[in-house]
Amino acid sequence: MARPDTSLRGKVAVVTGSTRGIGLIIAAYLARAGANIVICGRTMESVEEAYQQFAVIPGVEVLGWACDVRNPDEVQSLAEQAVARFGKIDIWFNNAGISGPFAPTAEMPPEAWREVIDTNLIGTFHGTRVALQQMLPRNSGKIINLVGQGARERDRLHGYLSAYASSKAGVLRFTQAVSREYADTNLSILAMAPGFVRTGLMEPDALTHDAAERLKALDSALRRFGTPIEEAGELAVQLAGPATDGVTGKLYEVKPGLLQVLRGLLRRGG
């Protein structure tokens, strides 16, 4: 884990989708930097399980709340509970996301495609909206949206994850648009690309034989060139902290180190 510090002492951070994967790592790193944390997942069972992992972090308070980001009322309730407990929200990470099934678009069930958009893109809108409502009266706060792979032309994920790629490209454009709307405030509205990370999100179900073969290639790329998930936590602390004061509308990326890339190339050559 990251070296404990106090750069976020006194801050309150909400991290959606923080019961596992990148979201859990982000929440843990923010807590170790001194922030009080609000974690959430779709079920209270997942929240309670994740909650136990914060018991070893001294001097930090944690609130767990069940929230499906597709539901605006539940996201509103999440924000209200955070304010009721801590009095404010300083940092809001829109992290909750799903990849959906791995399949060519012609064979993708419409309801599965829509669920990805509803979770990743519309869920980010819901979170951003309630965060703005809390932060604008104080003229202070940071909203950080996870864009992931697929948001940019050079990203590896395009075919067979069309909903995921579309949603993350949408999140990036949404972040840029909202940052322009509130450019005359002290809010920082940022995008974060955590890198090519192996999590449950990047282990989708393949719907066809051809998709299963392509998924093997994706898994191989993850093993060779994947970014350590801890680097996402380190970047999250930087974005949530004073380093981004006065910055808005910018995309920050976790990039694999040169040594890691070289090791991947050597493994492939061997």
Catalytic residues: 164
- Residue 3 CA to its chain's centroid (Å): 21
Contacts of 109 (CB under 8 A, 6+ apart): 101
Angstrom distance (rounded) from CA 245 to CA 259: 31
- Phi, psi (deg, nearest 5) at residue 248: -150, 155
| Sequence letter at residue 198 | R
Spacing of C-alpha 105 from chain mean position: 25
The Cα 255–Cα 3 span in angstroms is 20
Task: Give the helix, strand, coil percentages of the chain, each rounded to 5.
Answer: 50, 15, 35
Of 268, 269, 260, nearest to 227 (Cα)?
A: 260
Q: Write the DSSP symbol of residue 228.
A: P
CB 214 within 8 Å of CB 160: yes
